[in-house]
């Protein structure tokens, strides 16, 4: 580095390129590419430390919770590079993100690089020329309180996970994990599914019809009351299917009553009882914070939380938006002016109120008081101005942020709501009162720029009717009814969480912080605790066992209020109100007040009945057991209660709330057919059976165990394989050959499959012959029938072709060109229409390594945890978006951190 240069270190290469544009020739900007060191896995510790105080956690709980940090292998060369640059620099600027994580990265850089030149901490929430200049004019020291808060969180999560996860391994299954926030989020999903499983539906009926005024204007209305008593709606019933205690004054209309009333109202006149109009006013929503951005991006753009944050990160690093991890709804004075000016220019001066709007947040629990998420700069660029510079996902998210920001400074939407009640007398003497309501917007205000979209599960039945306009009506006016028809309804169970609604719930309860929402959802899905059905989050049976164990033996650690208090405590550490070491001491070893610490809880667990933890009763006498190879149904054999219980597989695509008693009986009946002998293979003499597996029914041949004589004869026939150096004792024994198997075709079932069908299936793969010296076979795969020629596979149109397709027909198929010069020219396994981001057609194909989703440019493998039947278009779109937005993977020379060093701050 030339003399007089100043070194600026950020955490992202993209961010370094953006910042370099605004600094002069005297500055060199480089990136650490995230954290340069972290706590290692205990197995990665130096051998002499594994039995010492750091051996369990890479943290020493008995010495002030001293952490042992290591420099990642992938970052050693980067550290050498930064040290070389720093050697010739006259000043060092640490310009990592302005939150706890960024503060910690800056501190780690300072500790590892050990600068001997003046060092400054730069803080900014957007990457624009104005923001960088302001930051350079106002450097500060590293905030050790923020560093302590991040370090406390890291140690807390290590203690929590490394103490509780091993209990899950022993009692539920290997590879499971517990986490401070992830376990609570999983509990939310499981509790919602429990509510759905316990839910009892209620039936009720109402009427709706078309009504015509004297001026022949038509509108729709619904029955409101019969003989003056309001009729029941879905909100009047509880989750047990009973009327709520405070709703005893409503009338439940049954099918017979509804049908007879509708018939009796034919040709009946109606008279308007009342007409009410009220002024309507609606305020704009505040600008985005992290949680609301994730929610709205999920609703409008169908982005997962992970994709939203990855795309937002790119927008921030390239100078398009402000920092995307924030609890604050505050806008700077420059941003307020920019939003108001743009609203006035685009939507007219009347769309902007006289004074700027300010939005309050509960500042005492906010992590760091940044600005809200908004377009970067002291003046905003419209979506049209940046469209050519951004990818499809980036543009959609930028546009969403721009609209919300501008709308937040616009005038209220105004109008009026109208409601009408009118009554008619039926031929059987009953009086029927109908009602209708609507909202009329007379001044759109902020709605010109932005209107929030509700999640489907959050919408109410009458929402659609609220936006309709009613004709002008007066009391006493006569109306004519037509097409009055009864309609039956069933109450619905509580809606499952989506990514948007669980983020909202976590925020509402104060669990997690902006930076944790997306990783938390990703973790519980990656661990297999939760899968997606459409946009809904569905828990696995393993999640039920995990949460049951945690609730029964680690209750406070999955308690919502307790977890929220942990977040509040971390916030207080970040403000210097609580001392890090004392807090960790109380959490792990217990407090002087008598509060039990995590260590004591784990040490005094006592016996945990693993069978009980993994047994979940779904109906009388029907239990779900979570076993090593997955969940299955179990119940006593009525013919032999003391003997081996009856078992049945649970299909992978069956959600827990769909496992009713009737469904359980169906699965047990199916299981009884499993193992049914179909006959004997005339060529081998082996029995052929049909079985029910987790992935569906299949046929298999029965290969008996070898007798001692057969085994000895087999070894004698191949002595070099089973004996070594003339040793008479065999080095191994023969294994029973693997039986041939074949999945049933869609046209077959456990009940109807025959020996002829089975022999056909077991004849696969079928060799058709050779083409250009390469053998062609026809096979039945997970996603249907296909041809295989070397590594080139082509799907067949029907299962019948498995047994009828000829070599000549196969050659014709292979003579067809491959699609886009890559992959195979085979029909898609599924089609999902246009991707909402790229507007390209999305299909599922069978590839060399399994099924994959593609839009013609981006390919992503279908996760093994998701069957093709389960895969929805929303999931397909989300998988592609995640692949497009996926960033580089992170990887861990050991460098111990001393207590005194931890307290050393970078000073100017």
Helix ranges (H only) for 649-730 are 661-673, 708-717, 719-722
Q: How many angstroms separate the most distant Cα atoms in the chain? A: 111
Cα separation of 779 and 788, whole Å?
7
**Token pair belonging to 3:** 């003399």
Are the C-beta atoms of 730 and 715 separated by less than 8 Å? yes
Cα separation of 628 and 609, whole Å?
16
Cα atoms in the Cβ-side hemisphere of radius 13 Å centred on 334: 14
Cα 237–Cα 256–Cα 218 angle in degrees, nearest 5: 85
Residue 323 annotated in active site: yes
**Token pair belonging to 224:** 């409101």
Are the C-beta atoms of 330 and 371 separated by less than 8 Å? yes
Element at 688 (helix H, strand E): strand 687-693
Classify burial at 382, counting beta carbons within 10 Å of its beta carbon; exposed 0-12, middle 13-18, buried 19 or more.
middle
Q: Is 302 strand, coil or helix?
A: coil
Return phi, psi of residue 245, to 5°.
-60, -35
Cα separation of 844 and 842, whole Å?
7
Cα separation of 762 and 680, whole Å?
12
Reported in sequence order, the residue ranges of 621-670 that DSSP labels E, i.e. its strands, are 622-627, 630-635, 646-649
Q: Which of 323, 557, 632, 786 is catalytic?
A: 323
Cα separation of 303 and 874, whole Å?
9
Q: Which residues contact 682 (CB under 8 A, 6 or more apart)?
A: none
Are the C-beta atoms of 16 and 33 separated by less than 8 Å? no
Are the C-beta atoms of 796 and 778 separated by less than 8 Å? yes
Reported in sequence order, the residue ranges of 248-353 that DSSP labels E, i.e. its strands, are 269-282
**Token pair belonging to 297:** 């991006």
Give which of 473, 316, 347 is closest to 409, Cα–Cα.
347
Cα atoms in the Cβ-side hemisphere of radius 13 Å centred on 628: 1
Cα separation of 697 and 648, whole Å?
12
Q: Is 867 strand, coil or helix?
A: coil
**To which residue do tokens 């596979």 refer?**
793
Are the C-beta atoms of 343 and 488 separated by less than 8 Å? no
Classify burial at 760, counting beta carbons within 10 Å of its beta carbon; exposed 0-12, middle 13-18, buried 19 or more.
middle
Cα 667–Cα 672–Cα 674 angle in degrees, nearest 5: 95
Please, what is the end-to-end C-alpha distance for the chain in angstroms? 21
**Token pair belonging to 828:** 């898609």
- Please state the length of the chain: 908
Return phi, psi of residue 626, to 5°.
-95, 105
Cα 531–Cα 533–Cα 535 angle in degrees, nearest 5: 100
Please list, residue by residue across 802-838, b when 16 or more beta carbons sit within 10 angstroms of its beta carbon and e when fewer do: beebeeeebbebbeeeeeeeebbebebbbebeebbbb
Q: Is 608 strand, coil or helix?
A: coil
Cα separation of 335 and 337, whole Å?
5
**Token pair belonging to 761:** 């299936």
Are the C-beta atoms of 615 and 541 separated by less than 8 Å? no
Q: Is 77 strand, coil or helix?
A: helix
Positions marked active-site: 323
């Amino acid at each position: 580095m030339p003399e007089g240069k100043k070194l600026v270190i950020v955490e992202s290469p993209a961010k370094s390129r953006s910042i370099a544009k605004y600094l002069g020739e005297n500055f060199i900007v480089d990136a650490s590419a995230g954290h340069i060191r972290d706590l290692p896995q205990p197995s990665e510790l130096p051998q002499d430390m594994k039995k010492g105080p750091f051996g369990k956690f890479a943290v020493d709980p008995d010495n002030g919770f001293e952490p042992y940090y290591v420099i990642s292998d992938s970052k050693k060369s980067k550290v050498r590079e930064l040290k070389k640059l720093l050697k010739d620099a006259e000043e060092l600027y640490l310009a990592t993100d302005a939150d706890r994580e960024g503060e910690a990265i800056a501190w780690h850089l300072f500790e590892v690089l050990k600068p001997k030149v003046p060092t400054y901490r730069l803080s900014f929430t957007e990457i624009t020329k104005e923001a960088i200049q302001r930051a350079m004019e106002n450097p500060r020291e590293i905030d050790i309180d923020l560093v302590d808060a991040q370090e406390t969180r890291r140690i807390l999560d290590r203690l929590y996970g490394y103490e509780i996860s091993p209990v899950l391994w022993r009692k539920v299954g290997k590879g499971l994990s517990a986490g401070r926030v992830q376990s609570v989020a999983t509990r939310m999903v499981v509790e919602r599914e429990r509510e759905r499983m316990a839910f009892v539906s209620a039936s009720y009926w109402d009427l709706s019809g078309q009504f015509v005024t004297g001026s022949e204007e038509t509108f729709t209305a619904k029955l409101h009351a019969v003989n003056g008593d309001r009729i029941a709606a879905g909100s009047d019933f509880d989750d047990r299917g009973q009327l709520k205690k405070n709703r005893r004054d409503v009338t439940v209309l049954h099918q017979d009553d509804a049908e007879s009333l509708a018939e009796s109202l034919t040709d009946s006149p109606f008279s308007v009882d009342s007409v009410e109009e009220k002024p309507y006013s609606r305020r704009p929503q505040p600008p985005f914070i992290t949680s609301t951005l994730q929610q709205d991006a999920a609703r409008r753009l169908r982005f997962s939380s992970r994709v939203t944050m990855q795309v937002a990160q790119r927008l921030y690093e390239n100078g398009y938006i402000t920092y995307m991890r924030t609890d604050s709804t505050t806008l700077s004075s420059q941003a307020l002016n920019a939003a108001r000016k743009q609203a006035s220019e685009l939507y007219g001066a009347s769309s902007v109120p006289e004074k700027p709007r300010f939005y309050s947040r509960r500042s005492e629990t906010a992590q760091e008081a940044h600005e809200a998420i908004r377009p970067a700069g002291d003046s905003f660029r419209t979506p049209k101005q940046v469209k050519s510079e951004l990818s499809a996902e980036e543009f959609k998210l930028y546009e969403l942020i721009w609209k919300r920001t501008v709308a937040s400074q616009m005038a209220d939407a105004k109008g009026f709501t109208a409601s009408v009640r009118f009554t008619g007398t039926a031929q059987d003497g009953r009086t029927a009162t109908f009602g209708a309501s609507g909202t009329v917007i007379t001044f759109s205000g902020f709605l010109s720029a932005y209107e929030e979209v509700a999640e489907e599960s959050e919408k109410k039945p009458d929402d659609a009717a609220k936006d309709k306009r009613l004709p002008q009506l007066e009391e006493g006016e006569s109306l004519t009814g037509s097409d009055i028809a009864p309609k039956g309804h069933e109450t619905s169970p509580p809606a499952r969480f989506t990514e948007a609604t669980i983020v909202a719930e976590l925020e509402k309860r104060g669990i997690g912080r902006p930076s944790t929402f997306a990783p938390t959802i990703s973790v519980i899905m990656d661990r297999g605790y939760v899968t997606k059905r459409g946009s809904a989050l569905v828990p696995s049976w393993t999640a039920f066992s995990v949460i049951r164990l945690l609730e029964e033996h680690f209750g406070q650690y999955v308690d919502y209020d307790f977890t929220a208090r942990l977040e509040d405590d971390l916030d207080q550490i970040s403000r210097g109100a609580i001392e890090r070491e004392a807090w960790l001491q109380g959490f792990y070893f217990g407090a002087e007040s008598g509060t039990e610490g995590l260590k004591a809880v784990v040490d005094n667990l006592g016996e945990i009945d693993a069978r009980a933890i993994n047994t979940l009763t779904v109906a009388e006498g029907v239990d779900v057991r979570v076993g090593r190879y997955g969940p299955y149904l179990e119940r006593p054999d009525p013919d032999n209660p003391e003997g081996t219980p009856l078992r049945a597989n649970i299909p992978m695509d069956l959600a827990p709330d769909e496992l009713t008693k009737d469904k359980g009986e169906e699965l047990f009946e199916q299981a009884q057919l499993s193992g049914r002998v179909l006959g004997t293979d005339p060529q081998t003499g082996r029995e052929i059976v049909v079985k029910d597996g987790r992935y569906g029914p299949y046929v298999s041949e029965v290969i008996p165990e070898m007798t001692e004589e057969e085994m000895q004869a087999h070894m004698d026939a191949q002595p070099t394989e089973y004996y070594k150096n003339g040793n008479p004792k065999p080095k191994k024994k023969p294994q029973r050959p693997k039986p041939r198997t074949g999945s049933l075709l869609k046209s077959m079932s456990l009940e109807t499959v025959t020996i002829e069908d089975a022999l056909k299936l077991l004849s696969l793969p079928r060799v058709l012959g050779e083409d250009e010296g390469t053998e062609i076979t026809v096979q039945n795969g997970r996603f249907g029938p296909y041809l295989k020629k070397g590594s080139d596979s082509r799907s067949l149109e029907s299962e019948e072709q498995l047994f009828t397709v000829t070599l000549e027909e196969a050659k014709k198929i292979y003579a067809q060109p491959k699609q886009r010069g890559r992959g195979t020219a085979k029909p898609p396994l599924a089609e999902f229409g246009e991707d909402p981001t790229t507007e390209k057609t999305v299909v599922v194909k069978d590839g060399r390594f399994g099924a994959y989703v593609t839009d013609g440019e981006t390919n992503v493998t279908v996760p093994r945890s998701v069957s093709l039947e389960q895969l929805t278009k929303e999931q397909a779109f989300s998988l592609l978006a995640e692949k497009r937005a996926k960033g580089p993977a992170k990887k861990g020379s050991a460098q111990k951190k001393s207590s005194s060093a931890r307290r050393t701050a970078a000073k100017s």
